[in-house]
Amino acid sequence: MNYPNRRHLIAGLSALSIAACGVPAPANQSSQQAAVPSDLLPVENPGFRNWLAGFRPRARRAGISAATLDAALAGAGYVPGVITRDRTQIQTRRTLEEYLSIATSDERLAKGRAAMARYGTTLNAIAARYGVSAHIIAAIWGLESQFGEKRGNIPVISATATLAYDGRRASFYESQLIAALRILERGETTPDRMLGSWAGAMGHTQFIPTSYEAFAVDFDGDGRRDVWGADPTDALASTAAYLSRNGWRSGLKWGAETGTGGPSGRTIQPQRGGVQFTVTRNFNVIKTYNNSDFYAIAVGHLADRLGGAGPLRGSFPPDANGMTRADRLALQRGLAARGYDIGTVDGVIGGKTEAALRDFQQRQGLPVDGRATLEMLSRLR
Ligand code: CA
C-alpha cells in the first residue's frame, strides 16, 4: 500500500502537542469523560445534507447496503470542530528538538515503562510472530495514543464524512468513509463503537479505515479485529503486521544518533544545525506509517529510551529568539516558581507558557507580547 496512514503526520503531531485525540464522546454515548466541546457535536448543515444525499448512491455502488448506510448515517452529522482542527493543525510546525521533547517527555516515558511492564508478554508474543521490535511497537502506541489513553472519541463516520464534504482532500476522505462503512457492513464493529480522532484515525495505534482493512489482525483469537476497545492486543499486533508487510527487516535497528556506534546507513539532519542521525531501511518502514522524518526519529528514539537508552548526546541550535532548550527550560522553571501553570516543563513554548509570560510582562509594566526571549529569561532568573 503506497498511500498508508498519511494522516498520521498531522494527527500524530496534534496528539503530541494538543491532545487532539481523546476528546470526550458525544452526549449519547457512555464515556468516562465529561462535557463535550460544543464544536465537536454534529450540527445541522444544509450543504452537508445535500452532499450526503449525493453520497448515498456512490456508497451503494461501492457495495454498501442500504441497511448499513441507514444505521451508520442515522446519528452522523457535520462536526465543525473537525474542520477547525484540520485547518489549525497545518499551521503548527514544531522543530525536531521540540517534537522530541514532547515525544520523550518524562510523563510519556513513565507511562511507556508501565505499559511495557503490563503488556510485556503480549508485546513479546507479537514481536516474535511478526519479527518487529517490541519497543518500536510500544513507541508507536505511545506516540499515537499515549499508550491507549487518547484513542479518540469522535464518531469516525461523522469525522470522515465532514472532511469528505469539506472538500480539501475530498477523495481521500471519501475513500476513508467508504472503508469505514465496509467495516460496519462486515460487522467488525458498530457505529457507536467506531470512534477515533478528528481525522478518522482509530484506536490505540490510530489506524485509518483503509489501513484497518488492509492490515488489522485478530491476534487474541476471539474472532474480531478490535482496535477500538480497552485491550490493546489486536491494535499492537495490527501495527506489527503493518510494519512487517511494509518491509521491516527483523533484528535491524531503525538507526541511531550519528557517531554513537549505531548501524551503518544514510545520514540525515532533519533540523539544520541539529543532531545528525544515521538511519537504516527500517527507518523508511516507520515512515510508511507516517511519512515524516520527525515522526520516524521520534518513534525510534522513544523505542530506544523505553529500552533503557539515555537522551541524545548532541544538541540543537538556538531558536528564533536566541534561546537554547536549556534557556527555555530555565524560563519555564522561573515562571513555575512564580506560581504560573505552564503545563509540563519541557522546553517547548506553548500557549500556557505564552499566557504566563504575558501576565508576567503586564505585571512588570513591560510590552506584552508573550515572547520567550533572553531578556525575559534574565528577568525571571
Ligand atoms: Ca480479537
CA of 190 to the centre of ligand 1 (A): 15
CA of 145 to the centre of ligand 1 (A): 19
271 CB neighbour count, 10 Å cutoff: 18
The predicted pLDDT at position 303 comes to 98
CA of 303 to the centre of ligand 1 (A): 25
Coil, strand or helix at 85 = helix
Residues 271-309: tens digit of each pLDDT: 999 999 999 999 999 999 999 999 999 999 999 999 999
Distance between CA atoms of residues 375 and 381, nearest Å: 10
The predicted pLDDT at position 139 comes to 98
CA of 44 to the centre of ligand 1 (A): 36
CA of 115 to the centre of ligand 1 (A): 19
CA of 231 to the centre of ligand 1 (A): 9
Distance between CA atoms of residues 61 and 228, nearest Å: 28
CA of 133 to the centre of ligand 1 (A): 21
Q: Of 244, 344, 237, which Cα lies nearest the Cα of 288? A: 244
Residues 4-41: tens digit of each pLDDT: 343 343 344 334 432 333 333 333 333 334 456 888 88
Percent of the chain exceeding pLDDT 70 equals 90
Edge-to-edge, what's the strand order for the sheet holding 266-268? 255-257, 277-279, 266-268
CA of 223 to the centre of ligand 1 (A): 6
Residues 296-350: tens digit of each pLDDT: 999 999 999 999 999 999 999 999 999 999 999 999 999 999 999 998 899 999 9
Question: Residue 246 above 90 pLDDT?
Answer: yes
Q: Report yes or no: 235 and 207 within 8 Å, Cβ to Cβ.
A: yes
The predicted pLDDT at position 94 comes to 87
How much is the pTM?
0.89
Residues 233-243: tens digit of each pLDDT: 999 999 999 99
- Taking CA atoms, 257 is separated from 253, 260, 371, in Å, by 12, 6, 31
CA of 225 to the centre of ligand 1 (A): 5
CA of 142 to the centre of ligand 1 (A): 21
Average pLDDT over residues 125-132: 98
CA of 280 to the centre of ligand 1 (A): 32
Indicate the average pLDDT of the chain.
Answer: 90
CA of 32 to the centre of ligand 1 (A): 23
CA of 29 to the centre of ligand 1 (A): 23
Per DSSP, the residues of 97-162 read HHHHHHHT-HHHHHHHHHHHHHSHHHHHHHHHHHT--HHHHHHHHHHHHTTTTT---EEHHHHHHH
